[in-house]
Amino acid sequence: MTITTEQAAASESRPAAAGISGPVRSPDEFSPLREVVVGRARGAFIPSPRDISAWLALYSHLGAAQVAEIQGGALPAQVVADTEEDLETLVGTLRGLGVVVHRPAEVDHTRPFSTPHWESPSGMYSYCPRDLTLIVGDTIIETPSSVRARYHELDGLRELFQRYLRAGSPWISAPKPQLRDELYEIGVDGLPALGEQEPAFEAANVLRCGLDLFYQVSSSGNEFGRIWLESVLAPRGYRVHPVRDVYPFTHLDSTISLIRPGLVLLNPERVTEHTIPSALRGWDRIWCPAMRELRTHSTAHPLSSPWLGMNLLMVSPELAIVDAAQPDLIAALEQRGVGVLPHTLRHGQALGGGFHCVTLDTIRDAPSGVDYFA
Ligand code: DAV
């Protein structure tokens, strides 16, 4: 029997045997979840803020004298063990709901590397798969993080993305940033800031809602990064809405959470009536109740604020995975008819990642190209 070129091409584009149900398809933050990546803690290394890109990303609210006292380093064994256990519990819940769960391959983030412009004494972690990869509809987009230590972080997801590519998913990357010293500025306040020399942003600066994306301009995403993203997505019919002057520090997902079409959760310390992105003004709002302090402080310098408690994962428009330590938020969601599965990440604040951060939804049951703001 002879095989035609078409048949050969078709067999090459079939999902490679293991584990995936087809190409990626995740156009929003809330449609029923089918496939997801859950991060891991093993192999993590917190980069030293002596590197200005790490200072900017992790401690940009602290002055030079304070960061001089912060050592980077491997996580204490107990933090790794607790976190692996909490992530396993999350994986068990998701699998119990019928969701296919992938994990990043093990990567040793303690290894140094360099480019012609700088040396990084280490990598960082595979704890937050949300941070560096943006799934927009059927496409995998690697984003240009401004953090030198994160340059090779996606090594742990390469094999998975190759499987999706074989299944037909376009997989692209922003121009690899050079991350030269000139990209980082020291403001008049003595604190580091992200410049505009080249496009730089992390995927977690973005929230997706069908044809609309919200892009937070902050120390982890510059205007040039927004321009690059728009250059790729606008010709495909997407609108990229800048979110400015809301939260200068880092990602968007502890400031705004899209719960379901027509319902948004807002951080009352960061967003006001005047700064709600105009596209979301017609939606019902939940102003997030004050956060209870998270239980474990495994470090003097946590990588995120207590607002990490509003960093939730929507499993469907009716079901959320939320920090068990935030009963007021859970009650507010339940009042709006959103069911909650309370979960725990004991060291989430220390490691800078809640349930949205530690996951990357690759397949949701959603039609593509929905205009939620028509
Ligand atoms: O402190 O609100 C959380 C970062 C989540 N990716 C914060 C930042």
Q: Is the CB of 26 under 6 A from ligand 1?
A: no
For residue 6, the CA-to-ligand 1 centroid distance in Å is: 47
Task: Take atom 3 of ligand 1 and give the residue whose Cα is closest.
Answer: 304
For residue 259, the CA-to-ligand 1 centroid distance in Å is: 18
d(C-alpha 64, C-alpha 47), whole Å: 16
Contact criterion met (CB below 8 Å) for 210 and 369: yes
Tokens of 279: 């596209």
For residue 199, the CA-to-ligand 1 centroid distance in Å is: 21
Q: 5-12+24-364 belongs to which CATH class? A: alpha beta
pLDDT of residue 17: 45
For residue 254, the CA-to-ligand 1 centroid distance in Å is: 5
For residue 347, the CA-to-ligand 1 centroid distance in Å is: 13
Task: Evaluate if pTM is beyond 0.85.
Answer: yes
Its sign, for the CA torsion 347, 350, 352, 354, is positive
- Would you kindly state where each structural domain of the chain is located, as residue ranges? 5-12+24-364
d(C-alpha 176, C-alpha 198), whole Å: 10
Q: Is the CB of 216 under 6 A from ligand 1?
A: no
Q: Is the CB of 224 under 6 A from ligand 1?
A: no
Its sign, for the CA torsion 242, 243, 247, 251, is negative
Q: Is the CB of 308 under 6 A from ligand 1?
A: yes
Among candidate residues 206, 254, 268, 253, the one with its CA nearest the CA of residue 232:
206
Q: Is the CB of 311 under 6 A from ligand 1?
A: yes
- pLDDT block averages, 10 residues each, the chain of length 374: 46 58 96 98 95 96 93 93 98 98 95 97 97 97 98 97 97 98 95 97 98 97 98 98 92 97 98 95 97 73 92 98 97 98 96 97 94 94
d(C-alpha 244, C-alpha 252), whole Å: 11
Task: Take atom 4 of ligand 1 and give the residue whose Cα is closest.
Answer: 251
Q: Is the CB of 251 under 6 A from ligand 1?
A: yes
For residue 313, the CA-to-ligand 1 centroid distance in Å is: 14
For residue 251, the CA-to-ligand 1 centroid distance in Å is: 6
Among candidate residues 202, 200, 197, the one with its CA nearest the CA of residue 183:
197
Q: Is the CB of 357 under 6 A from ligand 1?
A: yes
pLDDT of residue 13: 47
CA count, 13 A, side-chain hemisphere, 332:
19
